[in-house]
Structure 1
Amino acid sequence: MLTLTTSAAAHGVATSDAGYIGEITGINLLPFVYLGAKHMFTGYDHILFLLGVIFFLYKMEHIGIYVSIFAIGHSTTMLLGVFFNWAISSYFIDAIIGLSVVYKALDNIGAFQRWFGFQPNTKAATLVFGLFHGLGLATKVLEYDISPDGLLPNLIAFNVGVEIGQLLALATILIVMGFWRRTRSFWKHAYTANVAMICAGFVLFGYQVVGLFVVP
Structure 2
Amino acid sequence: MMFKPTQFLPATDAPARNWLPALLAVLAALFMLVLPDLAYAHAIAEGDKGYIQEITGVHLVSFAYLGAKHMATGYDHILFLLGVIFFLYRMNQIALYVTLFAIGHSTTMLLGVYFNVGINSYLIDAIIGLSVVYKALDNMGAYQRWFGFQPNTKVATLVFGLFHGFGLSTKIIEYEISPDGLVPNLLAFNVGVEIGQLLALGAILIAMGYWRRTDSFLKHAYTANVVMMSAGFILVGMQLTGYFVS
TM-score interval w.r.t. the shorter chain?
A: over 0.9
**1:87 pairs with one of 118, 123, 130:** 118
Residue identity matched to 2:36 = T
1:189-200 equivalences in 2 (<5 Å): 189-200=220-231
Post-superposition offset of 1:144: 2.6
How far apart in 1 are the matches of 2:58 and 2:34?
38
Post-superposition offset of 1:141: 1.7
Contact 2:102–2:161 (Cα < 8 Å) also in 1: yes
Deviations 1:49-102 (A, max 9, x none): 000000000000000000000000010000000000112111110000000000
Residue identity matched to 2:221 = A
Residue 36 of structure 2 corresponds to residue 6 of structure 1: yes
Q: What residue is the counterpart of 1:141 in the other structure?
A: 172
Post-superposition offset of 1:8: 5.3
How far apart in 1 are the matches of 2:34 and 2:240?
9
Deviations 1:119-138 (A, max 9, x none): 00000000000000010111
Residue 237 of structure 2 corresponds to residue 206 of structure 1: yes
**1:77 pairs with one of 84, 108, 113:** 108
| TM-score under structure 1 length normalisation | 0.96
| TM-score under structure 2 length normalisation | 0.84
Post-superposition offset of 1:186: 0.4
How far apart in 1 are the matches of 2:133 and 2:197?
20
Q: Which runs of 5+ in 1 are unaligned?
A: none
Contact 2:118–2:166 (Cα < 8 Å) also in 1: no
Q: Which runs of 5+ in 2 are unaligned?
A: 1-31
How far apart in 1 are the matches of 2:103 and 2:201?
16
How far apart in 2 are the matches of 1:5 and 1:67?
29
Q: What residue is the counterpart of 1:118 in the other structure?
A: 149
**1:165 pairs with one of 191, 196, 200:** 196
Contact 1:4–1:207 (Cα < 8 Å) also in 2: no
Q: What residue is the counterpart of 1:104 in the other structure?
A: 135
Number of equivalences: 214
Percent identical residues: 72
Q: CA RMSD in A?
A: 1.5
Deviations 1:137-177 (A, max 9, x none): 11122233210000000000000000000000000000000
**1:52 pairs with one of 64, 83, 90:** 83
Post-superposition offset of 1:7: 4.7
Q: What residue is the counterpart of 2:64 in the other structure?
A: 33
How far apart in 2 are the matches of 1:9 and 1:70?
23
